[in-house]
Amino acid sequence: MTTSELSLFKAAFMQSWNAIVITDAERLAGYRVQFANPAFCAMTGYALDELRGCTLQILQGPDTDPAVIDDLRACLKEARYFEGTTINYRKDGASYVVHWNISPVRDDEGVLTHFVSVQQDISDIVRAAQENLLLARALDATSDPVVLTDARARITFVNTAFAKVTGYTVHEVRGRTPAMFQSGAHDEAFYRALRASLDAGKDFRATFINRRRDGSLYHSEQSISPVCDDKGRVTHYVSVSKDISERVEKEQSLLHEASHDKLTGLHNRRYGEQTLGKAILAAHKHGRSLTLLVCDIDHFKQVNDRFGHLAGDRVLRDVAHILRSAVRSRDCVIRWGGEEFLVLLEHCEQAPGVLLAERIRHRVEAHHDADVGKVTLSLGLATLKPDETMEQLIARADEALYEAKHGGRNRLSISQRQGDSPESISSPTG
């Protein structure tokens, strides 16, 4: 080997970023240090003069892994390559995590003369890994569902809470996109707003209606945030959510109770007045037709007096069911009070309103209660006139109902115009 080559090897040894130490091969003497580069001295805190002639057992301490040391000794004894990781101790007593390998060195005749070890302090790497593991465990332990996706929205992590809420296992969702949870309850504008917010580097917060593995829907308050690297480039997205299905159900139940009649399940008068008022404003604004029916069960007081309130309640529920099943799905049926009902028919002229009212009347007449027997219905109909108020429309329908009642009941009367007498078009039957 030339002098220049020796100089190169020496420079490489002394200037190496990795810590390098060379020991002899004397097992009985404990493999004493002969050379160590500056990186090794800096890592251990020992000067070369303090290390030379000593064994590296001086770096071991209470937390040094005995199993790793046993493996090390076996490799040295058999002159085999060794690689391992354990905890060593610096001169000042501070511990560090070292990953190192040892290779046997032989002379030209193959005789073992030395061991050379290349070492690296990986304490920061281990600490970061432990912190990441702790973070992952913390995210997994939180009761709120957490989802992490890459920049292409592919799922890389979900916690146990998320799996519990959705019914999917971690393996079933990893690599897929959150689109798999879409329920169809949100329109394209909702998702455009989501993408625009994230593309601008902003959080997106909303209540999502998502679909579980079993097909059921759940409500989730969700916050989605972009995660950026040191250069500000988005690398991931993190979503933290809260299952609010129970709260939404309670709110919907309260809303239903506030807007529906408890006995019949129909809309109550308060809701009906609000709905009718809005419908009339819309009809006037857009030039739409609107027809109102006011219905009253004939001789209902006699039903209560003769058969009792339980029978009366049953009749009310049965008539409510007939009304609801006879009209269109978009029509609003209201229990106005007592035995009186309102049916709001939007986009409905007088003629089809009359046909529908007659259908209702006939179906009620055909119904037979086990105790009460036949029940009949009287109806008043009024079609909205230009500039007519809600109060005026109801008054005309009420006037028509009064005419039907006094005209013999079980009939439909139609209000023509304000000030004109209602026209009775149906005669009582049976």
Cβ pair 318, 367 in contact under 8 A: yes
Closest CA to 300 of 292, 309, 291: 309
Residue 26 DSSP SS3: coil
CATH superfamily of 15-121: PAS domain (3.30.450.20)
β partners of residue 312: none
For residues 371 and 311, give the distance between their C-alpha atoms in angstroms, rounded to a whole number: 7
**Which CATH code, of 3.90.740.10, 2.60.40.10, 3.30.70.270, 3.30.1490.20, is assigned to 260-424?**
3.30.70.270
Name the nearest CA neighbour of 416 among 391, 389, 380, 387: 380
Catalytic residue among 172, 249, 251, 339: 339
Q: Looking at the domain 141-248, which fold is it?
A: Beta-Lactamase (3.30.450)
The residue extents of the domains of the chain are: 15-121, 141-248, 260-424
Mean pLDDT per 10-residue section of the chain, whose length is 430 residues: 82 90 93 95 96 95 95 94 96 95 94 95 90 80 89 92 91 93 93 92 93 94 92 91 87 84 93 94 95 96 93 95 93 94 96 96 94 95 95 96 94 76 52
Chain length of the chain: 430
**Residues 6+ away with beta carbon under 8 Å from 210:** 166, 181, 182, 183, 217, 218, 220
The string of pLDDT tens digits covering residues 155-198 is 999 998 999 999 999 899 999 999 999 999 999 999 999 999 99
Distance in angstroms (rounded) separating the CA atoms of residues 280 and 387: 9
Q: 121: which DSSP letter?
A: E
pLDDT digits (tens, 9 = 90+) for 319-340: 999 999 999 889 999 999 999 9
Task: Assess contact for 295 and 377: CB atoms under 8 A.
Answer: yes
- The span from the CA of 259 to the CA of 338, in Å, is 16
Same fold: 15-121 with 141-248: yes
Annotated catalytic residue 339: yes
